[in-house]
Amino acid sequence: MRPKVILNCAASADGKISLPNRKQLAISNNEDFERVHELRSECDAIIVGIGTILEDNPSLTVRNNTKAKPIRIILDTHCRIPTDSKVLRGENKTIVAVGKNHKEKNLGETEILECGNKKIDLTQLLSILGERGVKKILVEGGETVMWSFLKEKLFDEYNVFFSSIIIGGVKTPTIAGGNGFQNEKSILNLKLRSVKQIGNGILAKYNKKKN
Ligand SMILES: NC(=O)c1ccc[n+]([C@@H]2O[C@H](COP(=O)([O-])OP(=O)(O)OC[C@H]3O[C@@H](n4cnc5c(N)ncnc54)[C@H](OP(=O)(O)O)[C@@H]3O)[C@@H](O)[C@H]2O)c1
């Protein structure tokens, strides 16, 4: 059985997830930030794409909880990850998922997992992780990775914290990037599960709609 997959992101009220130059900004408020770290602590693994590593350089650890050590997984077909990335430091295990023709790089203790060709094969990756006992995965972006999980319907929950700010910009990263669904028939319908005000923002939780 594939692990449970929770997609989570923080967006402005106009659906943007960074500044127009792709640089990170504080979108979550403190309460939502706490919620995300709590959620990380309940998961066995966290997935992000290489774009997020290159732009934000996150450590993807759990703050205020040294016991929870979710595996950090980076989708990085060509092994572009800089060797000084924060995600490669610390005690928590990190897996860099790469494609067949990836660049050879010495990442020390970090596991390099071949999984796919032109991009990471998400179905295969989730199956390998499931076999290793991973039961719950948090996907934290960015826009291209979020799009892939949504498009391939490889998720169970989809959570967005909408902050009361507007960022704007035609090219500013949005919650779901990629090519988008090209016609009305192929659009993905979600089931709204709950809406909660968190300070000056809104947390909307959705489930995948069962057909
Ligand atoms: N507000 C938030 O919650 C939040 C969270 C995270 C990120 N962000 C923002 O998101 C932006 C980064 O988004 P991004 O789209 O550039 O990067 P991304 O989604 O983190 O990574 C995308 C890259 O991952 C690799 N990849 C490999 N297999 C893939 C697959 N099956 N599906 C999708 N991607 C795959 C591809 O690069 P290769 O072909 O080289 O492998 C792809 O270009 C930044 O501006 C960051 O600040 C915001």
Write the DSSP symbol of residue 174.
B
pTM for this prediction: 0.98
Determine contact, residues 175/128, Cβ cutoff 8 Å.
no
Domains and CATH numbers, the chain: 4-208 (3.40.430.10)
- What are 186's two structure tokens? 């192929």
Determine contact, residues 45/73, Cβ cutoff 8 Å.
yes
Give every CB contact of residue 67 below 8 A, 6+ residues apart in sequence: none
Measured between alpha carbons, how far is 98 from 100 in angstroms, rounded to an integer? 7
* Residue 206: per-residue pLDDT: 98
pLDDT tens for 102-157 read 999 999 999 999 999 999 999 999 999 999 999 999 999 999 999 999 999 999 99
Measured between alpha carbons, how far is 168 from 9 in angstroms, rounded to an integer? 17
Ligand 1: residue of 8, 17, 125 to mutate (most ligand atoms within 8 A of CB) is 17
Write the DSSP symbol of residue 165.
-
Ligand 1 center–CA 200 separation, angstroms:
27
* Residue 168: per-residue pLDDT: 98
- For residue 17 and ligand 1, the question of a CB distance below 6 A is answered with yes
pLDDT lower than 50: segments of the chain:
none
Ligand 1 center–CA 27 separation, angstroms:
17
* Residue 65: per-residue pLDDT: 76
